[in-house]
């Protein structure tokens, strides 16, 4: 078997690093971004976006069939190549990448964002895939590119690490060449180139459309220039008419000024007449004030007299009240004496009643005793009853 030129070996190893190593790393990142959502459900949720990507040729029909297999089987990320996974990461909402990131501009050296690292990896892929396999690359370029690509992969691998990535990278660099693997890589690179040719064709068609539109814009510009000339003519005519209107306005202003002068003279005369009338009114007001002051003085004098009369009457009333108070005191004393006498009579009556009540109680007790004796003997009933009635009548009197 003929020995493979070393320059081709260097190219093959760089291609392996990007395609195998890079694909493994970005697949893990995509798995992390979908946060345990089943792949088929996520793709169905994002189908509108993916259809737009297919329509714009960002995704080929072959890649679309991997996302939505016609066989009815579920899609698996193991079938997605590096280009497809980076495209999904860039465009699907669930991945959350910056929509305004400039993917066609080389990132700044200090930018280590996910977008910047994916952009670098994508640019390395494009650069390496366009190097002819018959020419290969020199050792110095190989070492420089290998170091840069390895650094990008290691930084990306921090997000959702590929186990033993460093061992894989070491194998890509030093393991014996595999002709089958090289042929597989060349096939994949050729697919990328074919897809890019398709994109170039689409770009050519777009450019042709742009040229057609540019011609149409030129025609429109000519028509606009023609319209501008017509507008200028109209402007001149309008300017003439405006000049005439201005002259008419000046004449009207002069007439208005004359009329305003006359009105001002009339206003001056009216002001004089009003001033005279106001003077007369002021004089009448002064006279009225004097008359009112006189009347107010009279009223004050009448009020003073009324106050004096009221004071006298109040004095008399106070004297009468004092006399009435004296009479009331005398009456109170007489009433108190009479109340005392009545109280003495009441006490005497109470004492007399108490004495008679005591005598009655004693007699009743005596009669009850005698009655008991009569019941025991059965004699002298009638005589005793007659005697008791006589005694009771005497007691009542």
Mean pLDDT for the stretch of residues 369-384: 70
167: closest CA among 24, 351, 356? 24
Q: Could you say which of 177, 211, 246 is where a domain stops?
A: 177
Q: Could you say which of 177, 194, 225 is where a domain stops?
A: 177
Question: Residues of the chain with pLDDT > 90: what percent?
Answer: 40
- pLDDT tens profile 288-317: 288 717 872 782 887 288 289 817 883 892
Residue at 344 is within a domain: yes
Question: Residues of the chain with pLDDT > 70: what percent?
Answer: 73
Beta carbons of 118 and 156 less than 8 angstroms apart = yes
Report residue 233 CA to chain centroid gap: 56
Residue at 354 is within a domain: yes
Number of domains composing the chain: 2
Q: Please give the residue range of the domain that contains residue 387.
A: 338-396
Residue 103, exposed/middle/buried by CB under 10 A (0-12, 13-18, 19+)?
middle
Residue at 98 is within a domain: yes
Q: Could you say which of 177, 203, 237 is where a domain stops?
A: 177
- pLDDT tens profile 144-157: 999 999 999 999 99
Residue at 18 is within a domain: yes
- pLDDT value for 203: 39
Beta carbons of 21 and 165 less than 8 angstroms apart = yes
Tell me the pTM: 0.49
- pLDDT value for 238: 24
Residue at 357 is within a domain: yes
With vertex at residue 49, the alpha carbon angle to CA 56 and CA 65, rounded to the nearest 5 degrees, is 75
Instruction: Tell whether the model's pLDDT for residue 242 goes beyond 50.
Output: no
Beta carbons of 7 and 163 less than 8 angstroms apart = no
Indicate the pLDDT class of residue 138, thresholds 50, 70 and 90: very high
- pLDDT tens profile 15-51: 999 999 999 999 999 999 998 899 999 999 999 999 9
Residue at 381 is within a domain: yes
């Amino acid at each position: 078997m003929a020995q493979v030129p070393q320059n081709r070996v260097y190219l093959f190893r760089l291609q392996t690093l990007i395609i195998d190593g890079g694909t493994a790393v970005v697949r893990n990142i995509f798995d992390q971004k979908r946060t345990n959502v089943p792949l088929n459900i996520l793709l169905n949720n994002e189908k509108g976006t993916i259809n737009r990507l297919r329509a714009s040729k960002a995704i080929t029909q072959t890649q679309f069939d991997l996302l939505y297999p016609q066989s009815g089987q579920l899609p698996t990320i193991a079938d997605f190549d590096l280009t497809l996974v980076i495209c999904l990461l860039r465009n699907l909402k669930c991945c959350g990448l910056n929509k305004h990131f400039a993917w066609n501009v080389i990132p700044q050296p200090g930018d280590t964002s996910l977008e910047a690292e994916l952009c670098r990896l994508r640019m390395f892929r494009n650069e390496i895939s366009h190097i002819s396999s018959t020419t290969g690359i020199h050792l110095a370029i190989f070492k420089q590119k290998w170091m840069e690509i390895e650094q990008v992969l290691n930084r990306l691998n921090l997000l959702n690490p590929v186990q033993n990535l460093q061992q894989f990278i070491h194998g890509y660099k030093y393991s014996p060449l595999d002709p089958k693997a090289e042929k597989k890589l060349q096939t994949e690179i050729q697919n990328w180139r074919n897809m890019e040719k398709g994109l170039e064709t689409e770009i050519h068609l777009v450019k042709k459309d742009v040229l057609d539109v540019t011609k149409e814009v030129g025609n429109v510009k000519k028509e606009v220039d023609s319209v501008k000339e017509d507008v200028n003519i109209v402007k001149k005519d309008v300017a003439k008419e405006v000049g005439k209107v201005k002259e008419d306005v000046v004449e009207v202003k002069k007439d208005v000024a004359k009329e305003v002068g006359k009105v001002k003279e009339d206003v001056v005369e009216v002001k004089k007449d009003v001033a005279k009338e106001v003077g007369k009114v002021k004089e009448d007001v002064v006279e009225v004030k004097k008359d009112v002051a006189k009347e107010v003085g009279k009223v004050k004098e009448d009020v003073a007299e009324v106050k004096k009369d009221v004071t006298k009457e109040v004095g008399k009333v106070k004297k009468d009240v004092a006399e009435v108070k004296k009479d009331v005191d005398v009456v109170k004393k007489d009433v108190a004496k009479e109340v005392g006498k009545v109280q003495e009579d009441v006490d005497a009556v109470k004492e007399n009643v108490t004495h008679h009540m005591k005598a009655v109680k004693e007699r009743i007790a005596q009669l009850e005793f005698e009655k008991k004796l009569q019941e025991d003997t059965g004699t002298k009933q009638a005589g005793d009853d007659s005697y008791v009635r006589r005694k009771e009548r005497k007691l009542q009197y």
